[in-house]
Amino acid sequence: MTESFAEFRESFSYGTRSDLSFKFLKSLPDAEAAEFLRRLLEEVGETYDTGDIAAIIDLAIDAQIAGYRPDPDRPSRWTYTDRPFAPLTKPLAESRVGLLTSSGHFAEGDDPKPFGVPNMTQQEAEDRISEFLREAPILSVIPRDLPANKLRVRHGGYDTRSTLRDHNVSFPRDALLSARDSGRIGDISERLYSFPGATAQGRIKQLAPDWAGQMHEDEIDVLLLVPV
Amino acid sequence: MSVGHIARDIEASGIPTTAVYVRSFRHVAEAMGVPRVVSPLHPMGRPMGPPGDSARQQDVLESALELLESATEGGARCDLEQPYRPVGAD
């Protein structure tokens, strides 16, 4: 059976060649995807001699940006014209900072058990991505002082290899600790939060006011949000 | 998009928020009216920077904090143009 180039592109998005760092190939037009691959190989050829990977990385990031480019003919349902704004009420050096990420982190022993499944693997989360996209997210509480080796991550929507190497790439607790220790911020909330952002958008919109209430209970002054 | 809903509601409830969106998703933050957005030129899944690069991760945080101090209205944005380079690549 002959595979078309479009089928090849699409296979990177939860298909036979699934690769969450390159699933954007599904959305790139054929000509752009072909040119990306040609230039990628050209740069690999350069790397044989130069050892310089910078051009490869920049090329891949540019292609990713192109792959996620909004389609002007299909505006997002979640478009708003208003811009909520709450001013700072006190200096950051006196503020308690909260953290909420959509990276899918949780604490060992506190598995959110999506669909009731304990110890779901990253691969199973990827395989069940369409179910995640229909369900409400579960917000995990991560104690600020949890040892780093007790942090877990699972998210069917992105390449978690980087965060497994260093959780701070998407759950920047160490950067917050440095900012606190230097006096840049006053304190860090004892309860940090994460959830897998690949989730039903209508459901999270319904949950957002409850989550806002949780932030007030924690008496945080500002919140750092880190989407993946 | 998930974080956009949360940012809007938490900000509207009175708590200032600041968010880090990789460049691929900056347009999502803009469409949703996310109050403050720092947008590094990092690949998806690595919003704060490369693994092990605590200096870059702290720089991104600092930019997010500065935006809290400088913004006077919703929709404030700061693009970070430093290239993404893994630790040890130089």
Domain range holding A104? 92-226
Q: Say yes or no to pLDDT of A75 above 90.
A: no
Whether A51 and A128 share a structural domain: no
CB atoms closer than 10 angstroms to residue A182: 10
- Where residue A34 falls (left for φ over 0; alpha for ψ -120 to 50; beta otherwise) is alpha
Q: Tell me the residues of chain A between 91 and 130 that have a Cβ less than 8 Å away from chain B.
A: 92, 98, 100, 102
As a whole number, mean pLDDT of residues A197-224 equals 95
Q: Is residue B18 part of a domain?
A: yes
CA A77-A207-A123 angle, to 5 degrees, is: 80
Question: Are the CB atoms for A142 and A192 separated by under 8 Å?
Answer: yes
- At residue A74, the pLDDT reads 86
Whether A55 and A140 share a structural domain: no
- At residue A66, the pLDDT reads 97
Whether A98 and A47 share a structural domain: no
Q: What is the mean pLDDT of chain A?
A: 96
Chain B positions touching A212 (Cβ under 8 A) are 6, 9-10, 12-13, 15
As a whole number, mean pLDDT of residues A74-97 equals 94
- At residue B28, the pLDDT reads 95
Name the minimum distance, in Å, from the CA of B28 to any CA of chain A: 8
**Which stretches within A54-200 are classed as H helix?**
54-67, 122-127, 129-132, 161-165, 173-181
Q: Is residue A78 part of a domain?
A: no
Amino acid at A207: L
Q: Is residue A77 part of a domain?
A: no
Give per-residue pLDDT as tens, A158-171: 999 999 999 999 99
Q: Does A203 touch chain B (CB under 8 A)?
A: no
Provide the pLDDT confidence category of residue A206 given band limits of 50, 70 and 90: very high
Total number of domains in chain A: 2
Whether A96 and A33 share a structural domain: no
- Where residue A120 falls (left for φ over 0; alpha for ψ -120 to 50; beta otherwise) is beta
Q: Is residue B6 part of a domain?
A: yes
Q: Is residue B89 part of a domain?
A: no
As a whole number, mean pLDDT of residues A27-51 equals 97
User: CB within 8 A of A171, min separation 6: which ones?
Assistant: A99, A101, A103, A105, A142, A151, A153, A163, A192, A194, A226
Which CA distances in Å does B88 have to A172, B3, B50? 21, 32, 11
Q: Say yes or no to pLDDT of A29 above 80.
A: yes
Give per-residue pLDDT as tens, A103-141: 999 999 999 999 999 999 999 999 999 999 999 999 999
Give per-residue pLDDT as tens, A169-178: 999 999 999 9
As a whole number, mean pLDDT of residues B45-70 equals 98
Q: Which residues of B24-45 are buried (b: 16+ CB within 10 A; e: fewer)?
A: bbbbbbbbbbbbbbbbbbbbbb
Provide the pLDDT confidence category of residue B90 given band limits of 50, 70 and 90: low
Q: Does A67 touch chain B (CB under 8 A)?
A: yes
**Which stretches within A71-121 are classed as H helix?**
none
Name the minimum distance, in Å, from the CA of A201 to any CA of chain B: 6
Give per-residue pLDDT as tens, B7-17: 999 999 999 99
Q: Say yes or no to pLDDT of A73 above 90.
A: no
Whether A120 and A181 share a structural domain: yes
Whether A35 and A145 share a structural domain: no
Q: Is residue B90 part of a domain?
A: no
Chain A positions touching B31 (Cβ under 8 A) are 70, 75-76, 78-80
What DSSP assignment string belongs to A43-60? HHHHHHHH---HHHHHHH
Whether A219 and A175 share a structural domain: yes
- At residue A36, the pLDDT reads 98
Q: Does B55 touch chain A (CB under 8 A)?
A: no
Question: Are the CB atoms for A152 and A108 separated by under 8 Å?
Answer: yes
Q: Say yes or no to pLDDT of B31 above 90.
A: yes
Whether A99 and A48 share a structural domain: no
What DSSP assignment string belongs to B2-45? HHHHHHHHHHHTT--EEEE--GGGHHHHHHHT-SEEEEES--TT
Nearest-CB residue to A169 (from B46, B71, B75)? B46
Whether residues A179 and B58 touch (CB distance < 8 A) is answered with yes
Chain A positions touching B2 (Cβ under 8 A) are 102, 137, 195, 197-199, 201, 204, 227
Q: Is residue A32 part of a domain?
A: yes
Instruction: Determine what percent of chain A is predicted with pLDDT higher than 70.
Output: 100
Question: Are the CB atoms for A206 and B8 separated by under 8 Å?
Answer: no
The closest alpha carbon to B45, from A58, A70, A148, A101, belongs to: A101
Chain B positions touching A185 (Cβ under 8 A) are 65
Name the minimum distance, in Å, from the CA of B70 to any CA of chain A: 10
Whether residues A228 and B47 touch (CB distance < 8 A) is answered with yes
Q: Tell me the residues of chain B between 4 and 33 that have a Cβ less than 8 Å away from chain A.
A: 4-25, 27-28, 31-33
Q: Is residue A60 part of a domain?
A: yes
